[in-house]
Amino acid sequence: MPLATEADNLPSDKGPKDRGGSSRTCIVTRESGSPDTLIRFVAGPDGRVVPDLKRQLPGRGCWVKAERPFIEKAVAKKLFARALRTEVKADQALADEVDRLLAEQLAGMMNMARKAGQFVTGATKTEQAVRGLAAMAVFHAIDAAADGVRKIDQARKAMSFVGEDETEIPAFRPFSAAEMEGLLGSNAFIHAAALAGQAGEGVVKRAIMLEKYRGSVPVRAKGGAGKPQQ
């Protein structure tokens, strides 16, 4: 019998119905984590690695820390085939696909929160939500005009002194105006705010995951139309 190799011990799971916390271990870092910090992958019918963001696809799966460099490393080192114990092909563009899916997931939750009355758009409504302490987070288009961003930033900074911990609500800039038109259609915005509630919390949660995946952080009150700080 051949000796076991390190690759034979790469963590995996046995499917959505048989995944305890101990099985959620990154195949790159060997660190365990929660579904909010890991992305599940399975082997698709065509023999390609498929991201399973909703953790619902059947079959053996494996997990990778939800940050782009780890996806790229798993592809480069051919760790998916070892962890899934089958001949699968991980495309070089897999990291881009995950980014696209995370962006679509965020946009979908924005639409859901909007229907639930927990996501408002427009500079005036966004500023009102901030000053009324109703906003959990604000969103700007990457190419939003500096004046509009600065005005809302001033409100965020002013309201940070109202609470006991003096913490500013985060501001995210995940998409350009053109990207938002493609993702949200007529619901595209330049400025927006996520409000308290389950759907609003879902928006913030997915925004944080996308920003972390891209290696950026929420913009603090600086204004301007640049990309998020790295």
Whether residues 141 and 50 share a domain: the answer is no
Q: Which residue has the higher pLDDT, 191 or 159?
A: 191
Whether residues 142 and 186 share a domain: the answer is yes
Whether residues 113 and 207 share a domain: the answer is yes
Q: Is residue 222 part of a domain?
A: no
Structure tokens at 194: 């996520």
Distance CA 58, CA 73 (A): 25
Q: Is residue 223 part of a domain?
A: no
Whether residues 117 and 196 share a domain: the answer is yes
Write down the mean pLDDT value for the chain.
86
Whether residues 114 and 85 share a domain: the answer is no
Whether residues 140 and 39 share a domain: the answer is no
DSSP letter (8 states) at residue 99: H
50: domain CATH number? 3.30.1230.10
Structure tokens at 50: 């498929």
Of the residues 43, 69, 92, the one at which a domain ends: 92
Strands 171-172 and 135-140 turn out to be parallel
What pLDDT was estimated at residue 216? 73
pLDDT, one tens digit per residue, over 184-208 is 999 999 999 999 999 999 999 999 9
Q: Is residue 230 part of a domain?
A: no
Whether residues 200 and 133 share a domain: the answer is yes
Q: Where does residue 142 fall: left (phi above 0), alpha (psi -120 to 50 degrees), or beta otherwise?
A: alpha
114: domain CATH number? 3.30.1330.30
Whether residues 87 and 128 share a domain: the answer is no
Whether residues 32 and 109 share a domain: the answer is no
Range of the domain at 203: 100-214
Q: Which single residue is written with the structure tokens 């990309």? A: 227
Q: Is the pLDDT of residue 7 over 50?
A: no
pLDDT, one tens digit per residue, over 26-42 is 999 999 999 889 999 99
Q: Is the pLDDT of residue 117 over 60?
A: yes
What pLDDT was estimated at residue 147? 95
The number of folded domains in the chain is 2
Residue 144's H or E segment, with its range, is: none
Whether residues 32 and 71 share a domain: the answer is yes
Q: Are 129 and 135 in contact (CB under 8 A)?
A: yes
Whether residues 151 and 172 share a domain: the answer is yes
Q: Which residue has the higher pLDDT, 224 or 133?
A: 133
pLDDT, one tens digit per residue, over 206-224 is 999 999 999 975 544 333 3
Q: Is residue 185 part of a domain?
A: yes
pTM, 2 dp: 0.83
